[in-house]
């Protein structure tokens, strides 16, 4: 059975991640294998250069979006699922982010133990400001 949009959003559950709340991450869209997250620009997230988001904010958004995309592919009836962890994060910064940013993440390939995602971050004008790849390890409960 294909999950509904509401079920996909419930899987992502942004309120369960305190760091996401700190950054102000909002979930703005989800489909199976894809998630779109947004961070509104604000002074607390800027670099020493006024009106420019810190690169760490973009890297965190890339990781969050990749994990959200991963969660949209999780089978609800998988009783061995115990969570996941980022094992590799690659970010290429392409332009300064001077406005709200939106990350669209897609699962490139998902297996039983490893999931690969790709993420594009755009600013309010639609300019690509960063791209990234994130690899996740799926943690499984031991079968007895």
Q: Domain span at residue 26?
A: 5-140
Structural domains of the chain, count: 1
In the block, which residue shows the tokens 């419930």? 10
Note whether 34 and 69 are within 8 A (CB). yes
State both tokens at 84.
């996941």
What is the per-residue pLDDT for 130? Answer: 99
Please enumerate in sequence order all residues whose Cβ is within 8 A of that of 41, keeping only pairs 6 or more positions apart, or say none: 51, 53, 97, 98, 99, 100, 101
List the chain pLDDT tens, one digit each, 144 residues. 677 777 777 778 777 889 999 999 999 999 999 999 999 999 999 999 989 999 999 999 999 999 999 999 987 777 888 889 999 999 999 999 999 999 999 999 998 899 999 999 999 999 999 999 999 999 998 876
Burial 41-67 (b: 16+ CB within 10 A, else e): beeebbeeeeeebeeebbbbbbbbbbb
Closest CA to 13 of 56, 74, 102, 55: 74
What is the per-residue pLDDT for 36? Answer: 97
CATH assignment at residue 131: 3.10.129.10
What is the per-residue pLDDT for 91? Answer: 99
What is the per-residue pLDDT for 15? Answer: 75
Q: Is the pTM of this model over 0.85?
A: yes
């Amino acid at each position: 059975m294909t999950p509904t949009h509401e079920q996909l959003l419930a899987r992502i559950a942004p309120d369960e991640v305190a760091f996401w709340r700190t950054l102000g991450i909002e979930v703005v869209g989800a489909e199976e294998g894809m998630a779109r997250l947004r961070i509104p620009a604000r002074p607390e997230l800027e670099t020493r250069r006024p009106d420019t988001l810190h690169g760490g904010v973009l890297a965190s958004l890339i990781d969050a979006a990749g994990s959200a995309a991963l969660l949209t592919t999780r089978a609800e009836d998988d009783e061995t699922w115990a969570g996941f962890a980022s094992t590799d994060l690659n970010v290429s910064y392409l332009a300064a982010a001077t406005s709200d940013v939106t990350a669209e993440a897609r699962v490139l390939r998902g297996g039983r133990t490893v999931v690969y995602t790709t993420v594009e971050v755009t600013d309010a004008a639609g300019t690509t400001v960063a791209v990234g790849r994130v690899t996740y390890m799926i943690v499984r409960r031991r079968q007895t």
